[in-house]
Amino acid sequence: MFSDNVMSDFLSRHRLPRGFRDMAEHYYLPLARQLIEIRKDDCPLLIGVNGAQGTGKSTLADFLRVATESMFNWNVAVISIDDFYLTSEERKDLAGDVHPLFMTRGVPGTHDTEMLAICLDRLQKLGSNEQLAIPRFDKAADDRADKSQWTPAVGPIDLVILEGWCVGSEAQPDRELEEPVNSLEREDDPEGIWRKYANDQLRSNYQQIFEQLDFLIYINAPDFDSILRWRLKQERKLAEVSASNSAGLMTDDQIVRFMQFYERITRANQVTIPRRANIIFDLDDTHSIISTSHEERYEKRPGLREC
């Protein structure tokens, strides 16, 4: 049972506005209830959550965890693809061997996909009381956290949620890489080496992981400009509450450049992800859900993988 107290605790813990309750009850709870119907026998369910920065994918992933634990007594593991970034030293090597832009984490090629694949596989195979430490990435240090800070998961696991801005993304046709989408690509990657390598990684190592998903959720922002505005607004709010300690905060120009690392795939996602997602939540400029497609997407989905 998903009680009012559970909802209130969730809103308080995530510091969410009152309007989130209505949205969650109308859209997110029905989705959580459907997951028990989608699950195949006792096979752990593996779902993906895709959304650009600021769309609320981490909040949705945690809501589904809380809801399924409360209603079905499931044991749930939430995994962020961000926690599987290559170490600083590994990205330094990649930047030297392939392209300097790979020193900045974010795009495909900057994750340890082998570690992620092994983690997902082991999570779904954990026996009773077996444990697995899930990696954590320290964004403040821009490096993988010490193993003592990794999060333990105890089996058996009923539901694994993999969330991230490129979860389920598809590689672009090579011809679409020729024209830069922004000044970062035009000035720092004029020969297309960085974007081609990232695209090749997405086509190979990442797809092998995404093809295992039983169910894919997409939170669709109105457009890339909205995503950029949200990110700028977020940083300005941080600056207001951190006036005495502005270390680590970015200027508007720095944010614009940072977001350009994500722009190509984020824009492509708005075209390709809706074709493969099981459910799509369309947002307006205020982060409110204005429409959703659900049953239609699920009916078109092929059968779940074998456990």
- Asked if residues 100 and 254 have their Cβ atoms less than 8 Å apart, the reply is no
pLDDT digits (tens, 9 = 90+) for 169-216: 999 999 999 999 999 999 999 999 999 999 999 999 999 999 999 999
Residue from 55, 110, 122, 54 nearest 81 by CA: 110
Instruction: Please state the separation of Cα 126 from the chain's center in Å.
Output: 23
Residue from 249, 251, 232 nearest 241 by CA: 249
CATH topology for 4-221+272-300 is Rossmann fold (3.40.50)
What's the average model confidence in pLDDT over 279-305? 73
Helix (H, G, I), strand (E, B) or coil at 220: strand
The reported pTM is 0.92
pLDDT digits (tens, 9 = 90+) for 143-160: 999 999 999 999 999 999
- Asked if residues 77 and 156 have their Cβ atoms less than 8 Å apart, the reply is no
CB atoms within 10 A of CB 222: 16
Cα–Cα distance for residue pair 158/163, rounded to 1 Å: 16
pLDDT of residue 240: 65
How does residue 125 score in pLDDT terms, banded at 50, 70 and 90? very high
pLDDT digits (tens, 9 = 90+) for 44-68: 999 999 999 889 999 999 999 999 9
What's the average model confidence in pLDDT over 8-21? 91
Outline where the chain has alpha helix (H). 4-14, 19-23, 29-38, 57-72, 88-97, 113-125, 183-188, 193-201, 207-210, 224-241, 252-276, 295-300
To the nearest whole number, what is the mean pLDDT of the chain?
91
